[in-house]
Amino acid sequence: MHRGKNFKSKQEVREFVWNILKEKGISRNYGKIPNFFNSFKACEKLKLLKEFKDADVVFSAPDGVLRRAREIVLESEKELVVATPHMKEFRILKNIPRNSIKKACTIRGFFTYGKRFEFDREIDLFLTGCVAVDVKGNRVGKGSGYGDKEYALLRERGLIKDCAVVAVCHDLQIFDDISHLCEEHDVRSDYILTPTRVIKIKKK
């Protein structure tokens, strides 16, 4: 776990994470949300969460690291709401034939298998990637702000009420405390899933 107080900006944190993952051959997604080796192991831990088991409708960001998580949502016969890149639109996928689930969970598949989301379903679980996250749930994205905007839009529409936020990342993306870099509008995670563990964030 990295010491967050050593960093003076979110960008410093991002570059540190991108560099260490590249140096160790874990991810080459420099400048993006890391889609790291063994990300599927982190996503599989979604099945352990009571909030997932109880969910009917799950939202997922379009990040590549969440692809296996999206497959699990559809394999569990839940409804999947996704944002397309740059939030151009939201799509909903449901009742996808099992032999088409892998294709449906790609960005191209969102358009092929999904329908335009009419903002008529309450979201029970929110899945997101990150560049960095701390054990208090503070999350840093790639700098575009789309993760926070997706959450804010759904909340403004009244679709996010009592909704857990789950971040998927590698253990090397975790910090002890980066709260001094985060702002009020930044969405906090309730759970962190890595290839080796599930971290439940303690509520204040």
Q: Could you tell me what percent of the chain has a pLDDT over 90?
A: 86
Q: Does residue 81 fall inside a structural domain? A: no
Q: Distance between CA 104 and CA 94 in Å, rounded?
A: 10
Please report the sign of the dihedral spanned by the C-alpha atoms of residue 175, residue 40, residue 110, residue 122: negative
Residue 42, pLDDT above cutoff 90: yes
Q: Considering the domain boundaries, does residue 97 fall inside one?
A: no
- In a domain, residue 70? The reply is no
For the chain, the domain total comes to 1
Which domain covers residue 148, as residue numbers? 4-65+121-200
CB-CB neighbours of 15 under 10 Å: 15
Query: Which pLDDT belongs to residue 86?
Result: 85
Average pLDDT on 130-152 reads 90
**Cβ(110)–Cβ(93) under 8 Å?**
yes
Q: Is residue 104 assigned to a domain?
A: no
Is 51 among the domain residues?
A: yes
Asked whether residue 204 carries a pLDDT value surpassing 70, the answer given is: no
Segment 170-197 mean pLDDT: 94
60 part of a folded domain:
yes
The string of DSSP letters for the chain reads -B-GGG-SSHHHHHHHHHHHHHHTTS---TTS----TTHHHHHHGGGG-HHHHH-SEEEE-S-GGGHHHHHHHHHTT-EEEEEPGGGS-EEEE-S--GGGHHHHTSHHHHHHH-EE--S-S--SEEEE--SEEETT--EE-SSS-HHHHHHHHHHHTT--SS-EEEEE--GGGEES--GGG--TTSPPPSEEE-SS-EEEPPP-
Please choose, from the candidates 166, 188, 169, the residue with its C-alpha nearest in 3D space to the C-alpha of residue 177.
Answer: 188
At 21, list the tokens. Answer: 């993952």
Alpha carbon distances (Å) from 7 to 110, 144, 176, 183: 37, 20, 12, 15
Distance from the first to the final alpha carbon of the chain: 21
Q: Are 119 and 52 in contact (CB under 8 A)?
A: no
Domain contains 155: yes
The answer to whether position 87 is within a domain reads no
The CATH number assigned to the domain holding 127 equals: 3.40.50.10420
pLDDT at 193 exceeding the cut of 70: yes
- Residue 185's pLDDT band (boundaries 50, 70, 90)? confident
- Asked whether the CA dihedral 82, 84, 90, 96 is positive or negative, the reply is negative
Per-residue confidence (pLDDT) for residue 29, from 0 to 100: 83
Tens of pLDDT, residues 89-108: 999 999 999 999 999 999 99
CB atoms within 10 A of CB 125: 25
